[in-house]
Amino acid sequence: MAKEMKTPERLLRVPFCPGCGHGIFVRLMQEVIEEKGLSERYISAVGVGCSSNSIGATYGGNIVEAHHGRAPSVTRAMKALRPNCFVWTYQGDGDAYAIGMLETIHAANADAPISVFVINNNNYGMTGGQSAPTTLKGQVTTTSPYGHDGNPIDIIPQLMTYEHVGYIARGTVTSAAEIRKLKGYIRKAVDMQMNENKYSFVEILSPCPTNWHKSPIEACNWINEVVTQKFPLGEFRG
């Protein structure tokens, strides 16, 4: 039986590099928002990074810009003042785990009923592929030409120590099956906020073919074979 795939009404364009994971996330999010009837009832704060390319990717909607790393603070206030809206952040790994680690940790700990979505592409994509706190040991980037010295940070074990956090998952976009799973995670994150008034968190391992100097397929293979060894996939809470 053939099934028709409809483009979400509000999706105008996908202003990312070919093979980038950001575009898949933006589309999935719009599909879920539409499906849940939240099109006129959501606010998102986009961090600084390639996520900010998404401003203009969707029609209307309440997308606001947050300073680098500050989206959880921005949304925490917005949720408090607009409690009937689905309020979420859309951040990069540099945004959430380097300059914004403080907010990432404390918004979760403070039990803020927001949803945090982090696109983890192991580097600072927008500024040209510098190493980030998620860069793998030995990985070559534009600021680690001899291989990265640091160790990749996985935030999920830390978030797991907060009993009250409603939902924690990590997905990826490397295959149709993974994309379907990720969509399920996004749905649950939305429900956790809207039905249980609890914090939810989803990290997305995402290819950055441009800065990894890989083809889109090579990039996906690298995630599946190497990155997932350090950043395991699945639902951890909820």
Partner 1 sequence: MKELWKGSHAMAEAAIRAGARLYCGYPITPQSEIMEYMSERMPQVGRIFIQAESELVSINTVYGGALTGNRCVTSSSGVGISLMQEGITSCFSKGLPILIINVNRTGAGMGGGGGEGGSFSGGQDDYTRETHGGGNGYYRNLVFIPDSIQEAVDMIYNAWDIAEPYRNPVVLYTEGRLAQMMEAVEMPEFKEREPLDWGVDGTSKEMKEYRAMNKEYYKYKQRIDLMRENEQQWEEYLLDDAEVVVVAVGLCSRVCRGSINKLRAQGVKIGMLRPKAVWPFPQKGFDALPKSVKKIVCVENSSGPEMLEDVIVAMRYTDHLKTVPVYSSTREGLIPTKELIPFLQGVIDGTVKEVG
Ligand X SMILES: Cc1ncc(C[n+]2csc(CCOP(=O)(O)OP(=O)(O)O)c2C)c(N)n1
Chain residues binding ligand X by CB under 6 A are 47-51, 68, 92-95, 119, 121, 123-127, 132
Pairwise CA distance, residues 185 & 178, whole Å: 11
Find the DSSP H helices in the chain. Answer: 21-35, 71-81, 93-94, 101-109, 156-160, 176-196, 209-212, 216-222, 228-230
Comparing C-alpha atoms, which of 75, 79, 103, 109 is closest to residue 89? 75
Q: Under the criterion CB under 8 A, does residue 36 sit at the interface with partner 1?
A: no
Which residues sit opposite 204 in a β-bridge? 119, 171
Nearer to partner 1, 62 or 228 (CB): 62
Q: Quick one: what does residue 51 bind among ligand X, ligand SF4, Mg ion, none, with the CB cut-off 5 to 8 Å set by partner type?
A: ligand X
Q: Quick one: what does residue 93 bind among Mg ion, partner 1, ligand SF4, none, with the CB cut-off 5 to 8 Å set by partner type?
A: Mg ion
Stretch that binds partner 1, among 58-66, 133-141, 171-179, 216-224 (CB under 8 A): 58-66
Pairwise CA distance, residues 11 & 28, whole Å: 10
Q: Under the criterion CB under 5 A, does residue 203 sit at the interface with Mg ion?
A: no
Closest contact distance (angstroms) between CB of 196 and ligand SF4 is 32
Stretch that binds ligand SF4, among 15-23, 31-39, 180-188, 224-232 (CB under 6 A): 15-23
Which residues sit opposite 63 in a β-bridge? 44
Containing H/E element for 17? none
Pairwise CA distance, residues 208 & 174, whole Å: 12
Pairwise CA distance, residues 234 & 168, whole Å: 9
Q: Please give the backbone phi and psi of residue 216, each rounded to the nearest 5 degrees, phi first.
A: -55, -40
Containing H/E element for 91? strand 86-92
Q: Under the criterion CB under 5 A, does residue 121 sit at the interface with Mg ion?
A: yes
Stretch that binds ligand SF4, among 12-20, 101-109, 132-140, 154-162 (CB under 6 A): 12-20
> Could you give the string, one character per residue 94-133, with x where binding to partner 1 holds by CB under 8 A and - elsewhere?
--------xx--x---------------------------
Nearer to ligand X, 8 or 92 (CB): 92
CB 223 within 8 A of CB 175: no
Residue count (the chain): 238
Closest contact distance (angstroms) between CB of 142 and ligand X is 12
Q: Quick one: what does residue 210 bind among ligand SF4, partner 1, ligand X, none, with the CB cut-off 5 to 8 Å set by partner type?
A: ligand SF4
- Report the interface residues with ligand SF4, using CB under 6 A: 16-17, 20, 22, 50, 121, 125-126, 208-211
- Report the interface residues with partner 1, using CB under 8 A: 10, 39-43, 45, 59-67, 69-70, 73-78, 80-82, 84-86, 102-103, 106
